[in-house]
Structure 1
Amino acid sequence: MIFLINRILAFALTAAWLSSAAFAIERVAPESPTPWQVDKHRFAAKKANEAFSGFACGTSGMCVLAVDEGRQGAFMRINGQRLVYVGEPFEFSGVEKELDAEAAAVDGGYFYVAGSHAAKRETCCDNSDSRRVYRLTADESGHIGTMTHSERLWDAMRSLPELAPYAVPGDCRCDRAPGRNRIDIEGMGAANGRLFFALRAPNVEGNGYVVSVDAKALFEGGDLKPSLATVRLGANKGFRDLAIADGVALALVGPSDALSPADYSIVELRGLTTGVAVQPKELATIDLQNAPLGKKGSLIKPEAIAVLELDPKRYRLLVLSDGGDDGAPLVFNIPRKP
């Protein structure tokens, strides 16, 4: 009898292992370990070329680049396997020191760039410059047509009960709860007249958050209709970017803070753009084993994704990283799942 029970237990454990293996998350290496070429450009901030943090392209082929150093951004185009600048870097109006731009999106004729809305990570001191979202238009030569900004998102996040404890000013006291778990925007996407802001922090009991508001109202007045999506990510994980293409929302997920070890993965956020409860589906882990190292020999940190191609079997994504020379652009083919 004991022998039979042991056989049954062994069979059950084997079946469970096979089942988990069958659904193991695939590790995807880049198409090529050699990054795309990027035209050199002189930003005012010395480290800007190593701090690519947001990238989004419109149907016209114009892309907007956000960098988290200084107070400039730039327009680019994809030319084969090369990123070329369009015009000169532009300056965000009204920023005194640093926007800490972390996210970019394109919708129709508008380009959007968002500051992190975060306190400074090392000191927990305030950075009011970062609590801005910009809306821009530009011609095909990269000349700015219009530029306006809004500071209403901060109050909208403070109005949401789940985020209110974490939307506190940075007061240079990292020991003050919730300390380094304060709000930190890292990704942005646009769909159906709304802007979606993906947060690196806070992570609350394994949950990450995406805030959405009415895009027009954010800049032109009226009800923002703020909404919050709670997404199960796991402990010490947060959103690092968000891309929305043809109604499909893809998130780059990584460590929620600088100290927590965690892989970078691509997660499909089903239901995000339709207003129903979000069902996250992890598609793949980004394998950086053979990726180029940063200038100081450290691993690059993926910060931005853009959808290059979308077909029934895969998402072909361009991934830009912080710490890599000129974003170290790499392409990953991410499998789609039913």
Structure 2
Amino acid sequence: MPHHPDPHSTISLAFRHADDIDGVAAAIHEDVSSAARAGDSLFVCCDEAAGIDRLTPTGQGTWGNHVHFNFGEMIDLPAGPDGEMDIEGLDVDGGWLWVTGSHSLKRGKMKPHKHDAESGLAAMARIKRDPNRYFLGRFPLVKRPGGYEPVAVHGTRRAAWIKLMKKRSKLLGWLEDDAHLGPALGIPSKENGFDIEGMVARGERVWLGLRGPVLRDHAVILELEMGETENGHLKPRRIDGRRRYRKHLLPAAGEGIRDLEVDGDDLLILTGPVTGGDGRSDILRWKGFRAFETSGVVPAEAVEHVVELPYRGPVDHPEGLVLWPEVKGAALVLYDAPAKARIPEPETILGDVWKLG
């Protein structure tokens, strides 16, 4: 089994302070959840906001010139422009930026500084739905002097998404009677509940990687084929019998999916623990993934283990994966809950470039 104890190199990413950005409350560099790239524009997202962030090169191995794009200012979101989208998946394809929220439920937290034993128990009984999390769609990308920008309209291209509603998700509605996923829809994220944490798109085909549920030792990838309705919304076609999705179960040693990235004919899969606890993370390769055109269990010989990422306990949780063409055959991994050593300066984080073998 391949093992790489040290990354090939590190990349420095510098952000503006959250206080300087409207609609952003959390420190972006401490809460990265996905990444995608269009030329020299690196897009990353913080799952606490309703937008994405763009960086461009500032030197050898350094990226900055941070710009934030608020999707709530481009389109109408059901919980308003400042309600978090919990963006967990980004991809760039054919001049489009694809974006998905987690579609997950959120359990209340016990806060020792605020709750005693009884009130903490009550807090953890509350399950919250954030309708902005149900976003799944795409924005046109436009090349400007400073880099690529997502916009609502550019010429004949318009942003489009699966119709949003305040009380339910269209996607989850299509999954309600699914024998594998239906039982997970009412369970919060990080408890083996339904939780999207990765996305790639090629043409009309879209693949969604699920952190949960994990079924025995298999991670789940949903595949959709998008059509556009007369009123401009996206809607998956019926492709697998009467269903609007295909369902691929991948042997992943009990790990859930944290991000996805296309590498030629293959799909790279960043994995990690399903729950909020710490655990192992890996990069897997699903060989020839586009040739799998029916639902089913992916055979073990089609999934290759590429990199076992270092386990660092409560810090440095791998969350973002993007190919890094500056190093042949490599990908950049970005981290949530970064260790102090990963923050060399305020609002700056180091990402690791790993050779894929």
The TM-score normalised by the length of structure 2 is 0.73
Superposed counterparts of 1:119-138, under 5 Å: 119-122=105-108, 123=124, 124-138=127-141
Listed as ranges, the matches of 1:180-329 within 5 Å are: 180-217=191-228, 219-221=233-235, 223-225=237-239, 226-235=245-254, 237-259=255-277, 261-275=278-292, 277=298, 279-287=302-310, 298-309=314-325, 315-324=329-338, 325=343, 326-329=348-351
SS of aligned partner of 2:214: coil
CA contact (8 A) 2:226 2:237 kept: no
Deviation at 1:299, TM superposition (A): 1.2
Aligned residue in 2 for 1:71: 50
CA pair 37-143 structure 1, distance change in 2 beyond 3 A? closer
Structure 2 unaligned blocks of 5 or more:
109-123, 154-158, 165-169, 240-244
Instruction: Give per-residue Cα distances to partners, 1:261-300, cap 9 Å, x unaligned.
Output: 42111100124222163522111211266xxx9xxxx512
CA apart distance, 1:39 = 4.0
SS of corresponding position for 1:320: strand
Unpaired segments ≥5 residues, structure 1: 1-23
Closer/same/farther in 2, CA of residues 256 and 227 from structure 1, 3 Å limit: same
Q: Which structure has more helix as a fraction of its residues?
A: 1
Q: CA deviation at 1:206?
A: 1.2
Partner residue, 1:149: 161
Which protein is bigger by CA-based radius of gyration?
A: 1
Alpha-carbon distance, 1:310 to partner = 9.6
Aligned partners of 1:288, 1:233: CA distance in 2, in Å? 17
Moved more, 141-150 or 279-288: 141-150
Letter in 1 for 2:279: A
Secondary structure of 1:30's aligned partner: coil
Q: What's the TM-score once normalised by structure 1's chain length?
A: 0.76
Separation in structure 2 between the aligned mates of residue 327 and residue 240 of structure 1, nearest angstrom = 19
Q: Are the equivalent residues in 2 in contact too, given 1:217–1:224 (CA < 8 A)?
A: no
Rate the CA distance shift 1:221–1:115 in 2: closer, same or farther, 3 A. Answer: closer
Distance 1:134 1:317, change over 3 A: same
Matched letter for residue 81 of structure 1: G
Q: 1:117 touches 1:131 (CA, 8 Å); kept in 2? A: yes
SS at match of 2:286: strand
Q: Kindly indicate whether the alpha-carbon contact (under 8 Å) linking 2:14 and 2:66 is maintained by their aligned counterparts in 1.
A: no
Structure 1 position 114 matched with structure 2 position 114? no
Q: How many residues align?
A: 292
Q: Is the 8 A contact 1:191 1:273 kept in 2?
A: no
- 2:167 is aligned to none
Paired residue type of 2:309: I
Query: Relative to 1, partners in 2 of residues 1:271 and 1:158: Cα closer, same or farther, differing over 3 Å?
Result: farther
Contact 2:13 2:55 in 1 (8 A): no
Alignment pair present for 1:38 and 2:14? yes
Compared with structure 1, are the counterparts of its residues 126 and 190 closer, same or farther at alpha carbon in structure 2 (3 Å cutoff)?
A: same
Which residue does 1:6 correspond to in 2?
none
Instruction: Name the SS for the 1:168 alignment partner.
Output: coil
Question: Are 1:138 and 1:145, in contact at CA under 8 Å, matched by a contact in 2?
Answer: no
- Which residue number in structure 2 is paired with residue 333 of structure 1? 355
How far is the alpha carbon of 1:140 from its aligned partner?
1.9
CA 1:127–1:287: 2 relative to 1, 3 Å? same
